[in-house]
Amino acid sequence: MFNFIGFCVGRMVSSLKSGYQDGLNHAAILEAKNKLANLDSDIINLLRDGKKFQAVKLHREMTGSSIKVALDHVTQLQASL
């Protein structure tokens, strides 16, 4: 009987921990989405100031992308100005 109760309590604690982790992950995802939503406008501002290198660096830092991907994205944004 005690083993069963211990098992149930253990599962409840695991479930609560998992839900707490999911909440933290959700908050982190929302924060990342907010940062990325402003990324293009930040890059455009850097391009207008003539800071293409910094724009590529910012893209890489925020997205973790390769130099090629970041450079392609920044160049595409620059062409649209």
For residue 23 the two structure tokens come to 């909440």
Q: What is d(CA 60, CA 58) in angstroms, rounded to the nearest whole number?
A: 5
Q: Does one domain contain both 25 and 44?
A: no
Q: Does one domain contain both 43 and 81?
A: yes
Q: Does one domain contain both 26 and 64?
A: no
Q: Does one domain contain both 57 and 28?
A: no
Q: Range of 57's domain?
A: 38-81
Q: With bands split at pLDDT 50, 70 and 90, how would you rate the model's confidence at 36?
A: confident
User: For the chain, what is the mean pLDDT?
Assistant: 78
For residue 26 the two structure tokens come to 């959700």
Q: Does one domain contain both 27 and 42?
A: no
Q: Is the model's pLDDT at 25 over the cut of 80?
A: no
Q: What is d(CA 18, CA 21) in angstroms, rounded to the nearest whole number?
A: 5
pLDDT at 62: 87
